[in-house]
Amino acid sequence: TDEGAVVVPNVEYPQVSEYLPLAAGEYDLTISLAGTNCATDALDLPSLTLSDGDIVDVFAIGLAPGDANFPLQATSTTGLPLTPQTASVNVAHFAPFGADVDGTSVTIKVTGEGVDAALEEVKFGDIAKDVVLPAGVELTIQVIPTGTDVVAIEGKATLDVGGSYTIAAIGGANGWELMLKPLVDQTDAPDSGALVRIGHLAPFADAATPGSTA
């Protein structure tokens, strides 16, 4: 389980267990590498709900996690829903807060149930595209200047399953507050013509100036 309790120990290829009696309820299961005391995870499964009378199966298939052709994954011949619920996010650094571009270097951390990820040495103008994150759970996003433990920006987000988003760090110059700008991305193509989204995210005017357009 996600809490570290062993359900089936030391499973070797091509072993298939006997049917295991489990109480009805919700299970958060993880496939961990043998010999690591559950410290090294190979695959984190989505939460599963088992009801009285269910007879189900789960098979790990594929090769190494992240393999381009045969990624390690879980499937079920009995229809158990094992596809992780995710969303796709473009993470952008648009905050010119440093003295120069190198001075804007940050680590962007995303934590929450089922995720503990970091993008390191991200600088002004950088965009990490199509970052896959869990959907349906609250995520904490932190922007931390490189070489420090100081959290410069922190925000919360809960993503819809299958959604596409852009989250941009903006501000930090001319009195404008550092902040995260979340956007919902359009992915369905129009029947004709094109769709264009335009944003003014350049804080070049003084925030204290009345009528500033920055």
pLDDT at 173: 96
Closest CA to 43 of 71, 12, 80, 76: 71
Q: Are 168 and 180 in contact (CB under 8 A)?
A: yes
The residues that bridge with 93 in the sheet, in sequence order, are: 169
pLDDT reported for residue 67: 72
pLDDT in tens, 17-72: 999 999 999 888 888 888 888 778 888 787 788 899 999 999 999 987 767 788 78
Exposed, middle or buried by CB within 10 Å (0-12, 13-18, 19+), for 174? middle
pLDDT on residue 8: 86
Q: How large is the average pLDDT for residues 178-195?
A: 93
Give the pLDDT of residue 43.
81
Task: Evaluate if pTM is beyond 0.85.
Answer: no
Contact between 190 and 199 under an 8 Å Cβ cutoff? The reply is no
d(Cα 180, Cα 7) in Å, to the nearest integer?
41
Write down the pLDDT at residue 210. 57
Residue 100 confidence (pLDDT): 96
pLDDT for position 179: 97
Question: What local confidence, expressed as pLDDT, does residue 197 receive?
Answer: 95
Which tokens hold the place of 39?
Answer: 């410290």
**pLDDT for the residue numbered 55:** 95
Residue 30, classified by CB atoms within 10 Å of its CB into exposed (0-12), middle (13-18) or buried (19+), is middle
Check whether 214 has a pLDDT greater than 60. Answer: no
| pLDDT (0 to 100) of residue 84 | 64
Rounded Cα gap, residues 73 and 125, in angstroms:
34
Residue bearing the bigger pLDDT, 208 or 110: 110
Whether the pLDDT of residue 85 is over 80: the answer is no
Residue 83 has pLDDT above 80, yes or no: no
Summarize the confidence of residues 130-152 as an average pLDDT. 92
pLDDT over 80 (residue 165): yes
